[in-house]
Amino acid sequence: MLLGLGTLPLLAAVYWLRGRSRRAVVSNLAFWVDHRAPRHGGRILHRLQTPLTFFLELLAIAGLVTAAAGPALRQRDTLRPLVVVLDDSYSMLAHVREGSTSARSQAEAALATELRQNDYLVRFILAGVEPRLLGEPLRGPAHSTQALRLWTCQAPGADLVAALALAAEVGGPTARILVLTDHDPKLDLSHGQTQWWACGEKRDNWAFTTATRNRSGDQERVLLEVTHFGTSPSKSRLTLEGGHLAAPRIRLLELEAGSTRQVFVSLPAGAPALRATLDGDALEIDNEVLLLPESAKPVRVRVDVSGADLRRAVVRALEATGQAVVAGERPELIICDKYGALEGDAWRMEILGATDTAAYAGPFVIDRNRDLAKGLSLASVVWSASPGAGLSGLPIVMAGDVPLLSEREEIGGRRRLQMSFVGEASNLQDTPDWPILFDNLVQWRRNGLPGVSAANVRLGQTVKVVLPQEAQQIEVLLPAKTARKLTVRGREVAVLADQVGRHTVRALQAEHAFSCNAVCGDESDLTHCGSGRWGHWNRSAAHQDRQASLRWLFLLAALGLMAAQMAVVARESGEPNR
Amino acid sequence: MTDSMVPFLAEGRQTGARYRLAALRRAPQGTAGAQLGRLAGESLEFMDHREYQPGDDLRRLDWSAYARSDKMIVRLYRQEVCPHLDILIDGSRSMALAGTEKCRACVALAAALATAADNAGHSRHLYLSGHGCRTLVDGHESPLSWQGLAFDSQESVPDALRALPPRWRAQGLRVLLSDLLWVGEPRELLTALSDRAAAVYVLQILAAEDAAPTPRGNMRLVDSETGGGEEFFLDESALLRYRHNLQRHRDNWRRAARQVGAVFVPLIAEELCRNWDLSVLVEAGLLTV
């Protein structure tokens, strides 16, 4: 190419030498003078006196030289793709040095440096419990910075293997994959496609690894498990606030490295939220839990069973659940012994007896996918029923081809359950399956009542929110004081608990709350963290930038220019009177 | 005369040997001469009879005819004339333009015309412009004897005519050999040239390079007569402009010549020297074979 460039001044020199003024004697100079030109009147613009062929040859040589240099255009779709896998687990929020930046910040800075130095078409994959693709491919650090705002590191874990698989699928076989995490790789990175950058640091950390609050009669029991992840014994203070406590209660915990301490707290039923905190350390997110009271509202059940024995058995089973109250008004569940119309929002369970009974001792066919059949064994059970009862809906329990228990969903999400059962000739009501069956029924109905499925969940869990029939949209007020609106389909909506703290769900006039806590021992354990870079990117041509070659364009232009130059020369040579 | 002109003169004399000057439409004047004119004159050559008219010389009455027809008949005799050729050669430097055949063509053509005049029995006189129009030494002799033929003058033909006009022979044939490449109105020169002339021929001898120049690119053009130079970029438009100027100049000369009854004949020196075919002058009525 340099040789080609050298011809440019050479050509200019040739034309300069050729273009120098040559001396010629003419008979009379007057005939050469342009008499139209005014002798006085300012400057006269003359045409460029360099011949056209010079420029044509100059451009042709320049075109050939450029073509020899192999120019290529790097277009958006031909940029080398880079898929960045971002460890979204909350251990990335741990400070890598005392009072300094987090592993996430360090990883983001390293990524920004790489993106400034090289031009990539970047795609991001959030590696949480499940990998998630972040939008369309981006180019340049500025766009990437915007996308990285979604990298909040609030996941209870990072499935990097699944994220790498997704990255390979998204980027293709020649894509470069970069993993930004806080620990060493456990994978083979010798295939030349993946680099693994870890920005973490081994640190001691105290964390809540379990936090539950369960109702038991008139009391609620709180279980807290505190674990010290470290290499040497350490102390920390556990502070309890709220609940029934008038003042914060502080306990000093001293634990060996890697050991766990269980703390039980008893609260009166319906006590306010209890907050438990540990002293500050490398990772703040797991130093605090908030436990809200579980919903204590029982299911109102009306029992319209005429048979005294059967009624007694039903009421006794309902009382055993601890979550139902037998009431006559505004029932949410009606248990009766005859077919009838549905009332309000109440579910209806009809225990239908008959005269032409048959006793079935099994084997029974149970649809285990139903909540109602959870835990049912029906071992040694004699179930008397009428073969011709004609239960409607989908059968849940069958004896041969005779349905014994069925369920059908009615308008408005209400359910009608029918059971063909004759208590006098059965022993089902005397077996453990009887209270199990009614506990499942009450629990199922309770889950169908407006409210959240759980008051305290782990980070990353999904909370089911049941809403009134008329609700179309809910608003979830997040711990970060931002709101998220969700559209309701049916009567249920699932809310992902992806932020630590109190979540408030507003639907119509009702308000439900649940608390999300970061209680995951694996993420709180920072002793396996580290820093370093592993793996390399293959330098073969297949992994280089895909560029569109422009060589043909310059060659074509050079050929065109040479043809034009030949045409000009031929025209000048062929002129008459020469 | 330099020896370099001798071959040209010999070449011209050899060419002119094949031609004679054509008879003039207007008879040359002269009471005595070597040739008979087309009009009636005083020679002894009988030409015709006609009736007597008052004023006729009574000595020309044909008394025999009167006796036979009782009519007064006069004998007419041919006029005796002495035709003359005056040649004016442009002695300016442009006539010897380097690299062209202008000098050769001009010298040889002058010699050819002189030889043709000799063949036709014309007397002749040669003039060379330069410090006036000077008679060429031994110009009445054979061309090979001519002396002082040189093209070194910076004076144009009109200036030379004004400075020292030639002593033209009345009713003579006058020929101007020049490239006519000077700026000025041709009528003045042609009027002086055609004054009391039987015929005037203006032979413009141009080099091929004068008629259709070929140089291209950056050129420093030097005037052959003044020595002055100027830078030009010669491209197609510049050459077109030159050809346009030259054509306009020629048209001026052709038009002016027609107005004074002169004949304008353009010649290209290189073409003339190629085979010395003077048929163009035959067609113009200057020469006959």
Residue A541 confidence (pLDDT): 53
Is the link from the previous residue into A363 a cis peptide, with omega within 30 of 0?
Answer: yes
A504 vs A546, residue with greater confidence:
A504
B242 contact residues in A (CB cutoff 8 A): 31-32
Residue B284 near chain A (CB below 8 Å): no
A28 touches chain B (CB under 8 A): yes
Query: Is residue A38 predicted with pLDDT exceeding 60?
Result: no
Whether residue A558 contacts residue A63, with contact meaning beta carbons closer than 8 Å, is answered with: yes
Contact A31 B181 (CB under 8 A): yes
Q: Does B101 contact chain A (CB < 8 Å)?
A: no
Answer whether A369 touches B (CB < 8 Å). Answer: no
Query: Given a cut of 50, is residue A578 above it in pLDDT?
Result: no
Contacts of A52 in chain B (CB under 8 A): none
Which residues does chain A have within 8 Å of residue B247's beta carbon, measured at their own beta carbons?
A: none
- For A:48-87, CB contacts with B below 8 A are 49, 51
A31 and B249 in contact by Cβ < 8 A?
A: yes
- B195 interface with A at CB cutoff 8 Å: no
Q: Which CATH superfamily is domain A452-517 in?
A: Immunoglobulins (2.60.40.10)
- Scan for tokens 């002082």, then name that residue: B148
Q: Is A197 exposed, middle or buried (0-12, 13-18, 19+ CB in 10 A)?
A: buried
CB environment A80-106: b (16+ within 10 A), e (fewer): bbbbbbbbbbbbbbbbbeeeeebbbeb
Q: How far is A571 from chain B (nearest CA, A)?
A: 11
Question: Which residues in chain B have Cβ-Cβ distances shorter than 8 Å to A575?
Answer: 236
ipTM for the whole predicted complex goes beyond 0.85: no
Residue type, B172: G
Chain B hits for A26, CB-CB cut-off 8 Å, are 97, 209-210, 213, 221-224
* Whether pLDDT at A76 is above 60: no
Given CB atoms, is B2 within the 8 Å cutoff of chain A? no
Tokens representing A486 are 């969700």
Q: Say whether residue A21 is in contact with chain B using an 8 A CB cutoff.
A: yes
Q: Which residue of A has its CA nearest to B244?
A: A31
pLDDT at A46: 58
Domain-by-domain residue ranges, chain A? 1-24+49-66+560-578, 76-202+528-548, 205-296, 300-447, 452-517
Q: Please tell me whether residue A121 adopts helix, strand or coil conformation.
A: strand
Tell me the C-alpha distance between B47 and B36, whole Å. 11
C-beta separation of A305 from A336 below 8 A = yes
- Mind listing the domains of chain B with CATH numbers? 5-22+83-288 (3.40.50), 35-81 (no CATH)
**Residue-level length of chain A:** 578
Q: Is B154 on the interface with A (CB under 8 A)?
A: no
State the pLDDT confidence band at B177, using cuts at 50, 70 and 90: very high
Flag whether residue A571 sits within 8 Å of chain B, measured between CB atoms. no
Query: Which chain B positions have a beta carbon within 8 Å of A28's beta carbon?
Result: 94, 181-183, 223-225
Contact B124, B140 (CB under 8 A): yes
Task: Name the architecture of domain A205-296.
Answer: Sandwich (2.60)
Q: In which band, very low, low, confident or very high, does the pLDDT at A50 lie, cut at 50, 70 and 90?
A: low
Q: Which residues of A touch B182 (CB under 8 A)?
A: 28
Structure tokens that stand for B105 in this block: 């063509």
Kindly determine whether residue B231 and residue A21, on different chains, have CB atoms separated by under 8 Å: yes
Read off the pLDDT of residues A412-427 as tens digits, 9 standing for 90 and up: 778 888 888 888 888 8
Question: Residue B11 is inside which H or E element, if any?
Answer: helix B5-16
Residue A563: C-alpha distances to residues A455, A550, A560 (Å): 83, 20, 5
Overall average pLDDT of the A173-183 stretch = 88
Q: Pairing state of beta strands B197-206 and B123-129?
A: unpaired
Q: What's the topology of domain A76-202+528-548?
A: Rossmann fold (3.40.50)
Give the closest-approach CA distance of A16 to chain B in angstroms. 10
Q: What pLDDT does residue B38 have? A: 57
Q: How, if at all, do strands B20-21 and B287-288 pair?
A: antiparallel
Confidence of residue A542 (pLDDT cuts 50, 70, 90): low
Can you tell me the mean pLDDT for A366-386?
Answer: 85
Contacts of A34 in chain B (CB under 8 A): 241
Report phi then psi at A466, rounded to 5: -95, 135
Give the one of A25, A49, A51 whose C-beta lies nearest to B97's C-beta: A25
DSSP B131: S
Which H or E element spans position A212? strand A205-216
Please give the backbone phi and psi of residue A343, each rounded to the nearest 5 degrees, phi first.
-120, 125
pLDDT at A71 over 50: yes
| Residue of A32, A35, A47 lying closest to B221 (CB–CB) | A32
Closest CA to B124 of B107, B133, B136: B136
A14 touches chain B (CB under 8 A): no
pLDDT at B30: 47
Chain A within 8 Å of B220 (Cβ-Cβ)?
yes
* Nearest CB neighbour to B218, from listed A19, A31, A34: A19
Residue of A159 and A387 predicted with greater confidence: A159
pLDDT at A353 over 60: yes
Tens of pLDDT, residue by residue over B63-117, are: 888 888 888 888 887 766 678 889 999 999 888 888 889 999 999 999 999 999 8
Closest CA to A143 of A159, A161, A121: A121
Between B31 and B39, residue with greater pLDDT: B39
- Percent of chain A past pLDDT 90, that is, above it, reads 15
- Give the model's pLDDT for residue A53: 82
Q: What is the pLDDT of residues A152-172, one digit of tens each?
A: 888 888 999 999 999 988 888
What is the pLDDT, as a whole number, of residue B31? 46
| Contact residues, B window 164-193, toward A, CB-based 8 Å cutoff | 179, 181-183
Report, in angstroms and rounded to the nearest whole number, the Rg of chain A calculated over CA atoms: 40
User: What is the Cα–Cα distance from A396 to A383, expressed in whole angstroms?
Assistant: 14
Residue A289 has pLDDT above 90, yes or no: yes
pLDDT of residue A198: 92
Note the pLDDT tens digit of each residue in A469-491. 777 788 889 888 888 888 887 77
pLDDT category of residue B228 using cuts at 50, 70 and 90:
confident
- Which of A130-144, A253-267, A417-431, A564-578 is predicted with the least confidence, judged by mean pLDDT? A564-578
Which of chain B's residues have a Cβ under 8 Å away from the Cβ of A572?
216
Is residue A45 over pLDDT 70? Answer: no
**CA B38/CA B68 separation, integer angstroms:** 29
Q: Chain A contact for B67, CB < 8 A?
A: no
Q: What is the pLDDT of residues A242-288, one digit of tens each?
A: 878 788 888 898 989 889 999 998 888 888 899 999 988 888 899 99
Residue type, A19: G
Any residues with CB less than 8 A from the CB of A78 and at least 6 apart, and which? A545, A546, A547, A548
Structural class in CATH, domain A300-447: alpha beta
* B183:A578 CB<8 A: no
User: Token match 């010395």: residue?
Assistant: B276
- pLDDT winner (highest mean) among A370-379, B52-61, B174-183: B174-183
Q: What residue of B is the nearest CA neighbor of A34?
A: B241
Instruction: Tell me if A205-296 shares its fold with A452-517.
Output: yes
- B214 part of contact set with chain A, CB < 8 Å: yes
Among partner residues A19, A26, A51, which is closest to B223 by beta-carbon distance? A26
Neighbours of B183 (CB within 10 A): 13
> Cβ contacts (< 8 Å) between A27 and chain B: which residues?
94, 97, 179, 181, 206-207, 210, 224-225
**B218/A20 CB distance under 8 A:** yes
Alpha carbons A239 and A103: distance in angstroms, whole number = 28
Of the candidate ranges A108-112, A267-271, A439-443, B262-266, the one whose mean pLDDT is the lowest: A267-271
**Greater confidence, A329 or B133?**
B133
Nearest-angstrom CA–CA distance, A438 and A314: 8
Give the DSSP H/E element, type plus range, for residue A401: none
A536: three-class secondary structure by DSSP: coil
Taking CA atoms, what residue in B is nearest to A578?
A: B214
For residue A513, count CB atoms less than 10 angstroms from its CB and return exposed for 0-12, middle for 13-18, buried for 19 or more: middle
- What is the C-alpha separation between A535 and A187, in angstroms, rounded? 10
Q: pLDDT tens-digit profile of A326-338?
A: 887 888 889 988 8
Question: Whole-angstrom Cα distance, residue B19 to residue B280?
Answer: 12
B-chain CB neighbours of A14 within 8 Å are none
Query: Whole-prediction pTM value?
Result: 0.51
CA A402, A404, A410, A413 dihedral sign is negative
Tokens 């031929």 locate to A570
Cβ-defined contact of A24 to B222 (cutoff 8 Å): yes
